[in-house]
């Protein structure tokens, strides 16, 4: 008798989808469809803010994938954000359509992350985190040497000027929405695959994962490149909304700080947590962003409070208290009676 048949005969079942998760997926699909029509009904300011929200979700999801699912904590992910914007400028200057340049630049950045991973993934823990910050600073210095960029003076994505304001705003909005949906979908499917299970095994215990045949470096590289590509997409989209490129802005560690904040508040290692954290960060920025330095102090204090008293983040706490999952990437072992034991693959 197979193990699954034995479990079933004892009233025990293994499930991956719940009723709430199926409803959540359907609701998300419906929301995405409705959001496609937003430029027809919302004003310019609202469209710009919604575009920013989509970019924040991408950033949070990519950092959560790297650190929350892969155990690779980095404080230098701004390198990919900056390179995504930089290569967009470079490709557009070479004559490529600026909107095409956004994604071509992300592909170039993702390709560059492959050789970078050859030595960065040999580092562990704090060495990897600081090493990524060093790489970001080095990339910043190298971009400053490009005469097109004019040092810290920067330049603009001039080729966008051929489009009128309304067309440009709507196009960037749709590109950001599509990129967010595609990256979240790709990440969700990846984490529910064998590779996703391997990534979480590496995060939990790299030596144990190696002992059962997991290809550690290759698996880490897959996640590293995906995160690089996604963050580069976000950098290109942010450039399109701002149109101006200054290296010190795009290569600032502030971007990684925002990613960390969103993931810590929402729930690290939880697919839903990154999305929730991005929405909370967006709301806080919208309401209190004009407070200047006090806004940044408030973000730091909030992150510390969550680290001390809600280390699981908001979604992690909801899941713990109510046994509630919307987008599970693992399995649930369901026991007969009122009690359930769940575990992530």
Percent of the chain with pLDDT over 90: 47
Is position 5 within any domain? no
pLDDT on residue 330: 63
* Separation between Cα atoms, residue 305 and residue 312, nearest integer Å: 12
Residue 210: give its domain's CATH number.
Answer: 1.10.3470
Q: How far apart are the first and last CA of the chain?
A: 23
Which positions ≥6 away from 343 have C-beta within 8 Å?
330, 331, 332, 333
Is position 55 within any domain? yes
For residue 310, the Cα-to-chain-centroid distance in whole angstroms is 21
Is position 341 within any domain? no
Residue 191 has pLDDT above 50, yes or no: yes
Average pLDDT, the chain: 85
Residue 10 has pLDDT above 60, yes or no: no
Instruction: pLDDT band for 15, please (50, 70, 90 cuts).
Output: low
Is position 6 within any domain? no
Residue 291 has pLDDT above 70, yes or no: yes
pLDDT on residue 255: 94
Percent of the chain with pLDDT over 70: 89
Lowest mean pLDDT: which of 158-162, 207-211, 311-315, 334-338?
A: 334-338
Is position 7 within any domain? no
pLDDT in tens, 61-82: 999 999 988 888 999 999 999 9
Region of 292 on the Ramachandran plot (φ > 0 left; ψ -120 to 50 alpha; else beta): left
Residue 244's SS3 state is strand
pLDDT, greater one: 22 or 45: 45
pLDDT on residue 342: 47
DSSP for 136-167, please give it.
HHHHHHHHHT-TTTTGGG-EE-GGGGGS-HHH
Q: Which strand (E) or helix (H) includes residue 197?
A: helix 194-204
pLDDT in tens, 129-179: 999 999 999 999 999 999 888 888 888 888 888 888 888 999 999 999 999
* Structural domains of the chain, count: 1
pLDDT in tens, 212-250: 777 878 888 999 999 999 999 999 999 999 989 999 999
* Separation between Cα atoms, residue 332 and residue 14, nearest integer Å: 6
Tokens 């340049």 identify what position?
101
pLDDT on residue 2: 43
Tokens 């993934």 identify what position?
121
Is position 324 within any domain? yes
pLDDT, greater one: 39 or 208: 39
pLDDT on residue 113: 95
pLDDT on residue 195: 79
User: Which domain covers residue 54, as residue numbers?
Assistant: 17-329
Residue 217 token pair:
């470096």
Residue 343 has pLDDT above 60, yes or no: no
Span 314-319, average pLDDT: 81
pLDDT on residue 193: 81
Is position 232 within any domain? yes
Is position 11 within any domain? no
């Amino acid at each position: 008798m197979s193990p699954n048949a034995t479990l079933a005969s004892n009233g025990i079942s293994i499930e991956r989808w719940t009723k709430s998760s199926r409803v959540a997926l359907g609701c998300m699909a419906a929301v995405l469809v409705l959001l496609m029509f937003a430029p027809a009904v919302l004003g310019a300011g609202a469209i710009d803010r919604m575009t920013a929200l989509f970019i924040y979700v991408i950033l949070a999801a990519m950092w959560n994938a790297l650190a929350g699912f892969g155990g690779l904590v980095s404080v230098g992910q701004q390198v990919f954000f900056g390179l995504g914007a930089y290569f967009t400028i470079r490709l557009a200057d070479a004559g490529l359509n600026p909107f095409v340049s956004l994604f071509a630049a992300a592909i170039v950045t993702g390709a560059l992350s492959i050789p970078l991973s050859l030595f960065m993934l040999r580092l562990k823990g704090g060495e990897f985190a600081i090493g990524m910050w060093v790489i970001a600073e080095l990339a910043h210095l190298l971009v400053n040497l490009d005469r097109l960029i004019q040092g810290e003076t920067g330049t603009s994505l001039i080729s966008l000027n051929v489009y009128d304001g309304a067309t440009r705003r709507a196009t960037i909005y749709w590109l950001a929405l599509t990129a967010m949906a595609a990256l979240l979908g790709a990440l969700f499917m990846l984490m529910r695959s064998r590779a996703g299970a391997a990534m979480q095994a590496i995060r939990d215990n790299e030596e144990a994962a190696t002992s059962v045949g997991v290809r550690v470096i290759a698996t880490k590289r897959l996640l590293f490149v995906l995160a690089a590509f996604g963050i580069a997409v976000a950098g290109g989209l942010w450039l399109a909304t701002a149109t101006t490129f200054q290296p010190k802005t795009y290569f600032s560690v502030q971007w990684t700080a925002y990613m960390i904040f969103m993931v810590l508040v929402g729930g690290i290692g939880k697919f839903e947590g990154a999305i929730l954290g991005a929405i909370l960060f967006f709301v806080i920025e919208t309401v209190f962003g004009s407070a200047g330095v006090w806004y940044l102090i408030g973000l730091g204090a909030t992150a510390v409070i969550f680290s001390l008293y809600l280390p699981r983040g908001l979604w992690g706490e909801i899941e713990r208290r109510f046994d509630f999952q919307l987008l599970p990437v693992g399995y649930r072992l369901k026991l007969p009676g009122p009690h359930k034991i769940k575990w992530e693959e």
